[in-house]
Structure 1
């Protein structure tokens, strides 16, 4: 699919989303008799309508997306809110200027796209599509309109014990899922934890992420924000990925529960010393089970640090109940296998997505010619947005709940952990 507009006289057949390869006078006459589908109207406008073409040229439109105001920025990128011209869904448009991307930045961007292509989880921001123009690259991401964790704590103060459990459990579930498929985040911090409008937590920004062949593979690149960095990163030695993410989760948990960071110093040198020595103090009013979890995570020796599985089964998180068993586990399978699935559980959702595609003007031919596994394709963007809509209608993206006191923590903990491990494939707690 070509997004670049070079002339207002271009015919919409350049957009491979159309079925016809040639268009003559008879076709144009037929168009006047048969109402255009939303897809046909949009592709016609993108090639013939002067206002739409102008918006594409000046950046008010990017592909099938209408661009609106800026919602954030980074070192190499700006993030704008946009919405899909066909589905009307809001998205976040991460814009990168190609001229500013050096070799290292290009490598990080490639890793970010690769990681996000592999991730399909309720607590991970989704990548819908990648759009490229001669001067820019755009990542079309799920829009989380509830702000980030850092700003929320700075503006509203620390969270209650129950709220901390609900938020942390979702972060933990996301990281567990990533580690299961050998993806290490390496930049976990409050600024990269976003909230959807319904309160569901979304882990974002995979610019420093990496996919390893084995979780025991050694890494050697210092990544992330110093206040969240594990001691082994400051020692300039190779390190294992999962314990680095676990340490950052410990810092996040401390920040949520107390409203302050565990490691604070006036200079980078002093901060480094504090982290390497593991020097921090836990407020006495912090609940005992939460204290135990933080102390188990913030161990300076990676081998002594809690594993994700231990965190999942800890007493503090015992009352947290996830709603995701309402959603078929297969709904997070790769998109192509979803299309080809014969599972009865998925039949209704697949038909719903196909029905929505047909209403917009996509035909069986489109599905055959445009594979949704290719993110640099506008069909993929539409398909993934509609799929996400269907999943949300079936319970995806619902925050967990705290179900009250536990009578026998030790016995209940073992039972609850076993139950989660076997019944909640959607969380991938294996």
Structure 2
């Protein structure tokens, strides 16, 4: 059963206190293209942002923490390295003491969703640890950062490059929808890039299960990517709002700017509800047709994922066979690697019975994490030649110049309506906004603007359609303390372990598993 319907977004009586990170953008001069910018509204997921080195070696479980790479309202993300496999990971640390019951429920739902999905274009979950005050989510690390960073640095993508990226995004969203999961926060900031510049969809904090015979009522997501029915406060089934967001994403990839802009939330709402977008001269007619179909105001007339995959623009270069995910093939490949990894883990002195039970129960504990990390390393080593070839090809592509009459994407991060948070500011009186030529008087995009920092809309939490989502741990009242990290003491690595890991292309010195290392309690 869903939560009560919330007030339509942008309505006159929509009044909420400003978020704690409210910071109006006061500069009257637009930043130049490629200018470094701050991240006041970071979603708190793995990116390649510069991390400050810690003053000393900090450990959480079997991970050496290396620095902060992201922050959110209730979480901080640390870059880390597994002490056994020496694999780079990201650890999202959630302070439960700062969460109310609804937000804690969302964290547990996010964990539940991540445990159930395994797709090459979706960030992988490796381990979940929990203490009385903290939750630690160990995930895949995306070293190339957000796709936004790529666009902000190099400009808009060519349609060929955009098509390749969009196929990967479509493959991930198609996988989610086939598992009755709706993401609800698709945007450029949640599209990360791995070492080979492949897409990794992240941030499942607003995701939920959906039923085609039922509706959802929680209005969440980033306003510039939100569908008209979200702004109007209507109930929705689920996939159709992801389709709309995909249309906005494709527009951003090809044009380098957002299709819908506004000096405040009310203006943005009006433009989204109008459904009118500006098409630049360099966009092909096929690409325009696909974007317009996805950005159809009537949700019943938007294309399905299958229709998008069959669209003329998507069929150019026949990329579908490269990026469409086949779960049966993936299962066969995993079974082929499983015996090698189990033998390796057994040779490390690990209890085979505990390993198999961990995998069978999908415990996402230390045993499960080591298995998954070794699996990824083995798969990566087998496909290294192909990955290097694709990376060289991408690096050789010349960046596409942004036309002079196009507004840059340099301030996209700081735009007030491009954030992820759990509340929305009240809407101040709109200032003058010019509806003129495409580019010169268009507003630049950033994480901050005259209306301050706003995040992804989130007006509550609904229960799962297939069952209620209850918090599994009591938590004290919120406070402002920073998340703490428990430490543990490693032991030295035996020579046999080092030789075995080196044989699997794990060239960095590895650590053995201590027989009795204090770690946070596992969250199964």
Shorter-chain TM band: 0.7 to 0.9
* In structure 2, C-alpha distance between the alignment counterparts of 1:110 and 1:327, rounded to whole Å: 27
Question: Bigger relative contact order, structure 1 or 2, given CA contacts below 8 A and separation 6+?
Answer: 2
* In structure 1, C-alpha distance between the alignment counterparts of 2:334 and 2:266, rounded to whole Å: 55
Change (3 A) 1:368 1:155: closer
Contact in 2 for aligned 1:131/1:137 (Cα 8 Å): yes
Matched, 1:199 2:194: no
Contact in 1 for aligned 2:168/2:324 (Cα 8 Å): no
Q: How many residue pairs end up in the alignment?
A: 334
CA shift digits 1:363-384 (9 cap, x unpaired): 3233244345434521111112
Contact in 2 for aligned 1:146/1:199 (Cα 8 Å): yes
Deviation at 1:350, TM superposition (A): 1.6
Deviation at 1:283, TM superposition (A): 1.1
Change (3 A) 1:323 1:293: closer
Within 5 Å, which residues of 2 pair with 1:310-349?
Answer: 310-318=307-315, 319-321=317-319, 329-330=327-328, 332-333=330-331, 347-349=335-337
Within 5 Å, which residues of 2 pair with 1:334-373?
Answer: 347-371=335-359, 373=361
- Find the counterpart in structure 2 of residue 267 from structure 1: 264
* In structure 1, C-alpha distance between the alignment counterparts of 2:334 and 2:135, rounded to whole Å: 34
Deviation at 1:188, TM superposition (A): 0.6
Contact in 2 for aligned 1:375/1:381 (Cα 8 Å): no
- Find the counterpart in structure 2 of residue 299 from structure 1: 296
Please state whether the residue corresponding to 1:240 is helix, strand or coil: coil
Change (3 A) 1:331 1:109: farther
Change (3 A) 1:168 1:104: same
Any gaps of 5 or more consecutive residues in structure 2? 1-55, 395-524
- Find the counterpart in structure 1 of residue 85 from structure 2: 87
Matched, 1:243 2:270: no
- Find the counterpart in structure 1 of residue 375 from structure 2: 387
* In structure 2, C-alpha distance between the alignment counterparts of 1:162 and 1:358, rounded to whole Å: 46
* In structure 1, C-alpha distance between the alignment counterparts of 2:115 and 2:137, rounded to whole Å: 11
Of residues 228, 231, 246, the one that matches 1:231 is 228
Change (3 A) 1:330 1:357: farther
Of residues 152, 155, 163, the one that matches 2:153 is 155
Deviation at 1:349, TM superposition (A): 1.3
Deviation at 1:394, TM superposition (A): 4.9
* In structure 1, C-alpha distance between the alignment counterparts of 2:312 and 2:137, rounded to whole Å: 39
Change (3 A) 1:325 1:224: closer
Any gaps of 5 or more consecutive residues in structure 1? 1-57, 334-342, 403-430
* In structure 1, C-alpha distance between the alignment counterparts of 2:145 and 2:335, rounded to whole Å: 35
CA shift digits 1:308-328 (9 cap, x unpaired): 111111111212435769998
- Find the counterpart in structure 2 of residue 417 from structure 1: none
Deviation at 1:151, TM superposition (A): 2.2
Moved more, 235-244 or 388-397: 388-397
Change (3 A) 1:153 1:368: closer
Change (3 A) 1:65 1:174: same
Change (3 A) 1:313 1:165: same
Deviation at 1:331, TM superposition (A): 6.0
- Find the counterpart in structure 2 of residue 283 from structure 1: 280
* In structure 1, C-alpha distance between the alignment counterparts of 2:349 and 2:321, rounded to whole Å: 34
CA shift digits 1:20-57 (9 cap, x unpaired): xxxxxxxxxxxxxxxxxxxxxxxxxxxxxxxxxxxxxx
Contact in 2 for aligned 1:131/1:138 (Cα 8 Å): yes
TM-score by length of 1: 0.73
Of residues 97, 100, 104, the one that matches 1:99 is 97
Deviation at 1:329, TM superposition (A): 3.9
Of residues 114, 127, 138, the one that matches 1:140 is 138
* In structure 1, C-alpha distance between the alignment counterparts of 2:97 and 2:334, rounded to whole Å: 44
* In structure 1, C-alpha distance between the alignment counterparts of 2:177 and 2:92, rounded to whole Å: 25
* In structure 1, C-alpha distance between the alignment counterparts of 2:334 and 2:216, rounded to whole Å: 39
* In structure 1, C-alpha distance between the alignment counterparts of 2:139 and 2:94, rounded to whole Å: 13
- Find the counterpart in structure 1 of residue 169 from structure 2: 171
Change (3 A) 1:347 1:183: closer
Contact in 2 for aligned 1:356/1:386 (Cα 8 Å): no
Q: Structure 1 or 2: larger helix share?
A: 1
Contact in 1 for aligned 2:71/2:77 (Cα 8 Å): yes
